[in-house]
Amino acid sequence: MSKPKVRGKFITFEGLDGCGKSTQLEKLAAVLRVRGIDVVTTREPGGTIIGERIRAVLLDSRTAGLDPHAEMALMFAARAQLIAEVIGPALEAGQWVLCDRFTDSTEAYQGGGRQLGSDAVLQLHQALCRGLWPELTILMDSDVSSSVGRARRRNLAASAETPDENRFEKESYAFFTRVRNAFLETARREPQRVVLVDARPKLEIVHPQIVRVVFERLIEAAGKKGSPA
Ligand code: TYD
C-alpha cells in the first residue's frame, strides 16, 4: 500500500497594487525549490484558463459599469475554479502552493474598498471555497501613494500587446486607503495566519524577512511537531 501523502502548504501574498508581492513570491518560490520543496505558483484573479478570462473582464478599464456585487461574484468564480483545478489538487499531492492574492484581497477591495463589508465576503468564502484558508499569509504593507503610483506607472508602460489591466488602478486615494485599512484589520483579527511585512524597504531587505517568517512558521514549526516540512 502506498504511503499516505503529507498535504502541502498553502501560502498567500497580499497587499496593495504595486507593493512588490509578485516579485517577492517568485523569490520565495526559488528559495523553497532549492530546499527540494515542490512549489506551484499561481495568481488571482486568474491562474486557470477560465480564471484568466474572468481576469480580463475584471481588470480591463473598458469594463464600465460593473456592479460591485457582480465584481465580487466574479472574483469568487475565478477563485472557485482555481481551487478546483490548481490549489486543491496540488495540496493533495503534497506540493506547496504560493498564490498571489486570495480571499483577503476580496475582503480588502470589495469588502473595504467597495464597502460591501467583510461579512458578505466571509460568507461567500465559506460557501464557495469550502473553508480553504492558507496556512500563512504574507501581508506586504505599503503606503497608498507609493505602491499605487508604482502600479500605475508599470501598467501605463506596458506594451500595446499586453492586456489592459488598469481598471482598479484608476480608483481614488480614498478607495485604496480603505483597502489598506481593511488589510490591516484582517492582520489584527488573524495574527496566527497573517504576518505583516513592511514592503517599503528595498527588495533585497524585504526578501530575507519573508524567508525567515516562512521558515519559522512552517518549516521549523513542522520539524518541532515531528512531521516533515
Ligand atoms: P494583481 O494582478 O495582483 O495586481 P497588482 O500586481 O497590481 O497588485 O491584482 C489585480 C487587481 O485585482 C488588483 O487591483 C486587486 C484586484 N482584486 C480585487 O479587487 N479583489 C480580489 O479578490 C482580487 C483577488 C484582486
pLDDT number for residue 229: 42
pLDDT number for residue 221: 78
Task: For residue 201, report the distance from its CA to the centre of ligand 1, in Å.
Answer: 22
Burial of 19 (0-12, 13-18, 19+ CB in 10 A): buried
Task: For residue 81, report the distance from its CA to the centre of ligand 1, in Å.
Answer: 17
pLDDT number for residue 226: 53
Task: For residue 39, report the distance from its CA to the centre of ligand 1, in Å.
Answer: 22
Q: List the one residue out of 55, 74, 12 whose CA is nearest residue 214.
A: 12
pTM listed for this prediction: 0.94
Record the cell numbers describing residue 124, joined without a space: 461567500
Is the CB of residue 81 below 6 angstroms from any atom belonging to ligand 1? no
Record the cell numbers describing residue 14, joined without a space: 497580499
pLDDT number for residue 156: 78
Ligand 1 atom closest to 169 (CA): 14
Task: For residue 227, report the distance from its CA to the centre of ligand 1, in Å.
Answer: 35
Per-residue pLDDT of the chain (229 residues), as tens digits, is 455 568 999 999 999 998 999 999 999 999 999 999 999 999 999 999 999 999 999 999 999 999 999 999 999 999 999 999 999 999 999 999 999 999 999 999 999 999 999 999 999 999 999 889 999 999 999 999 988 888 888 877 877 778 888 899 899 999 999 999 999 999 999 999 999 999 999 999 999 999 999 999 998 877 776 544 4
Give dist(CA 92, CA 81) in Å, integer.
16
Task: For residue 13, report the distance from its CA to the centre of ligand 1, in Å.
Answer: 11
Ligand 1 atom closest to 75 (CA): 22
Is the CB of residue 134 below 6 angstroms from any atom belonging to ligand 1? no
- Sign of the Cα torsion 183, 184, 190, 193 reads positive
Mutate which of 19, 168, 178 for ligand 1 pocket (most atoms within 8 A of beta carbon):
168
Give dist(CA 124, CA 133) in Å, integer.
13
